[in-house]
Structure 1
Amino acid sequence: MLLAFDPANPRLPLGEWVAEATEWLTSTFEVAFDAVKAGLAQVYDVLSGALGAPPFWLVIIVFAALAWWLRSWRFALFTAVGFYLIRALDQWLTAMDTLALVIMAATVSVVLAIPLGIWAARSETVSHVVRPVLDFMQTMPAMVYLIPSLAAFGIGAVPGMVATVVFAMPPGVRLTELAIRQVDPEVVEAGRAFGSPPGRILRQIQLPLALPTIMAGVNQVIMLALSMVVLASMVGAGGLGSEVLSALGRVDVARGVEAGLAVVILAIYLDRLLSSLGDRAPVARAARLRD
């Protein structure tokens, strides 16, 4: 094989190696992939039904009340008007499907990202290993993630969800690691001086002080998950992404604008809601009082 290698016209069959590895994984762990697919699909169906089955006005009231409690009456008014506009554009059910997909993908991403970021912050070895992997995950075109997800989970919402998790997770890991590392070492040392074990220092000192930056990472995870809705529809995820994709195929400007506007409203609502959660952290409130 080495004798047949032509330096003037090299050909490295990397794609074939990856394809063979993917085929081996999907065939060897088919039962595990099927179980994951069934579990995620069931939770997604329940969440989508919980958002789409009640009357739209009841869901709007709940969203507006949450916005008022976490932020202000102005944001609650924007929420009511924005979600009523989604219903008026006849995009309600697709928007709820998209919201369910984003909530699930973001939840899985955060559950994986925060512990990994904490581990990277506490271990230089883990940090050096994780960093190039995150660089790879962020620079790889998002559409490429759909191919192995499709091979492993087939058509439907689950492969789009898995691809979204892989695409959206890196900022959560990076900002969690950064947040833990930025905690004042003197405060951590004071906790050690009082005899606190590492777990208690993490729970009662580092995490509360790092919470605003961690919430910023969660915010970025949700925004990236929303940006994947159109690509996820290419593997059958549905929701607003399928509306945009259908409008693109038909060059239907009106339908594309309506679905795009619904995505914008969801993005603004989730962004402001997560920002409000970060602002309600004790450290953020103390910083505002000092200012």
Structure 2
Amino acid sequence: MWEFLTEFPSLGRRDLADFKNTIDGAFRSFSRAYGESLEIFFSPLLKFLVWFEKLLQATPWPLIIAIIAGLAWLGARSWKITVGTIAAFLLIGFLGMWEDTMATLAIISVATLMCILIGIPIGILMARSDRTQAVITPILDVMQTIPSFVYLIPVVMLLGIGKVPGLLAVLIYAIPPIVRLTNLGIRLVDKDVLEAADAFGASPRQKLWGVQVPLALPNIFAGVNQTIMMALSMVVIASMIGVKGLGVPVLRAISNQYLALGLMNGLAIVALAIIFDRISQSYGQRLQAHRGQGHE
């Protein structure tokens, strides 16, 4: 009886080894059977990633800074944020991190765009169906809590190392916030507003795109903000599976104890995070203010 209480009952060592070997064998068989097909499926995405990265690196730096400064002004409408953005990119270039920053910007931009294209429709489906929400919420919980190194294993086994596996790893880690906040934003739309739309004879589609989504935009942009932050936090981990960018020098600095190299590239990642955070937050606040004036 005492042994039962002190030692947790479990499978025998041999049974447990057989169980693990069965799972590993099944996944290896799957990767051998479908790995090539998956590579062909993701080939256009890889070509686009390579093209976009080369485009950013080949474009003259003054033009890149001008475009980013313009986007910062359109998003934030703040001279302080715009000037800070220009200063940060000038410092990044001056310290010799321009090419790595452009590579990081390429992967983060594509990852964020894909998170938006995939996450917002899923969030809308969750908002329209309690059953769909009950199914997807546990999946999002797992995606947010499972250590990133764990899901790198199946991604690398299926697709090897390179840009696409890195992008998929970033997607898995970064997509939950935009799904959750899209769902929340649509569910928080005032019922009186929806009843008024019904009274005017709006169809479900008109009600969704003409009323619910516009009123949920502040929450959706908060989700975009969190998605960008989480994507940037994956830069160093993604560099372990062949994604070029600011994460590679950081990883090299960890391996070789290069303090200055790690600090400089780490601060460049922080600078990008702060810039994107301030721009997206400011835009979300402006949307919130516009929404408040609309209600008045």
Q: Post-superposition shift, 1:164? A: 0.7
Identify if the C-alpha distance between structure 1 residues 108 and 25 changes in structure 2 by more than 3 Å, giving closer, same or farther.
farther
Instruction: Report if aligned partners of 1:98, 1:239 keep a CA contact under 8 Å in 2.
Output: yes
Instruction: Sort the Cα spacing of 1:127 and 1:273 in 2 relative to 1 into closer, same or farther, 3 A.
Output: same
Residues in 1 aligned to 2:27 and 2:190: alpha-carbon distance in whole angstroms: 44
- Aligned residue in 1 for 2:246: 240
Q: 2:40 aligns with which of 27, 35, 40?
A: 35
The 8 Å contact of residues 35 and 159 in structure 2, kept in 1 or not, is answered as no
What SS class does the counterpart of residue 127 from structure 2 fall into?
A: helix
Whether 1:10 aligns to 2:11 is yes
**Are the equivalent residues in 2 in contact too, given 1:121–1:127 (CA < 8 A)?**
yes
Task: Answer yes or no: is the 8 Å Cα contact 1:137–1:166 preserved in 2.
Answer: yes
Indicate if the aligned counterparts of 1:67 and 1:73 stay in contact, CA closer than 8 A.
no
SS in 1 for 2:175: helix
Q: Which residue is 1:261 aligned to?
A: 267
Farther-moved stretch of structure 1 (48-57 vs 178-187): 48-57
1:102 corresponds to: 108
Change (3 A) 1:101 1:215: same
The number of residues matched between the two structures is 285
For 2:168, which of 145, 153, 162 is the aligned residue?
Answer: 162
Equivalent in 72, 79, 84 of residue 73 of structure 1: 79
Once residues 202 and 128 of structure 1 are traced to their aligned partners in structure 2, the CA distance between those partners, rounded to angstroms, is: 21
Contact between 2:173 and 2:231, CA under 8 Å: does it hold in 1? yes
In the other structure, the counterpart of 1:271 is 277
Could you tell me how far apart the structure 1 residues matched to 2:127 and 2:25 are? 35
Letter in 1 for 2:80: R
For 1:140, the equivalent position in structure 2 comes to 146
Q: Does the CA-based 8 Å contact 2:75-2:280 persist in structure 1? A: no
**Amino acid corresponding to residue 11 of structure 2 in structure 1:** P
Question: In terms of mean alpha carbon deviation, does 272-281 or 131-140 score higher?
Answer: 272-281
Change (3 A) 1:289 1:173: closer
The residue aligned with 2:202 is 196
Q: Is the 8 A contact 2:238 2:247 kept in 1?
A: yes
Deviations 1:198-244 (A, max 9, x none): 11100000000000001101111111000000000001112111110
Q: Is the CA contact 1:212–1:279 (under 8 Å) kept in the aligned structure 2?
A: yes
TM-score (norm 2): 0.90
Find the aligned partners of 1:139 and 1:18 in 2 and give their Cα distance. 22
Q: SS where residue 270 of structure 1 aligns? A: helix
Instruction: From the superposition, tell whether residues 234 and 120 of structure 1 become closer, same or farther in structure 2 (CA, over 3 Å).
Output: same
**Distance of 2:194 and 2:243 partners within structure 1:** 45
Q: How does 1:168-183 map to 2 (within 5 A)?
A: 168-183=174-189
| 1:3 match | none
1:212 is the counterpart of 2:218: yes
Amino acid across the alignment from 2:245 = G
Amino acid paired to 1:44:
L
Q: Give the unaligned 5+ runs of structure 2.
A: 1-7
Shift of 1:38: 1.6
Q: Equivalents in 1 of 2:23, 2:125: separation in Å?
A: 29
CA RMSD of the aligned region, Å?
2.0
Q: Once structures 1 and 2 are overlaid, which stretch shifts more, 106-115 or 82-91?
A: 106-115
Shift of residue 278, structure 1, vs aligned partner: 2.2
Aligned to 1:151: 157
| Percent identity of paired positions between Structure 1 and Structure 2 | 41
1:20 equivalenced with 2:25 (yes/no): yes
What's the secondary structure of 1:29's corresponding residue?
Answer: helix
Work out whether 1:50 is the aligned partner of 2:55: yes
Match of 2:258 among 249, 252, 261: 252
Between the aligned partners of 1:119 and 1:53, the Cα distance in structure 2 is 40
TM-score (norm: length of structure 1): 0.92
Which amino acid in the other structure matches residue 292 of structure 2? A
Q: What is the rounded CA distance, in whole Å, between the counterparts of 1:32 and 1:272 in structure 2? A: 41
- 2:67 maps to 62
Deviation at 1:21, TM superposition (A): 3.9
> Is this contact kept in 2: 1:219–1:271, CA < 8 A?
yes
Counterpart contact for 2:250–2:261, Cα < 8 Å: yes
Question: Shift of residue 289 of structure 1?
Answer: 8.4
- Distance, in Å, in 2 between the alignment partners of 1:21 and 1:274 is 43
Query: How far apart are 1:18 and its partner, in Å?
Result: 4.0
C-alpha contact (below 8 Å) 1:26/1:33 kept by paired residues: no
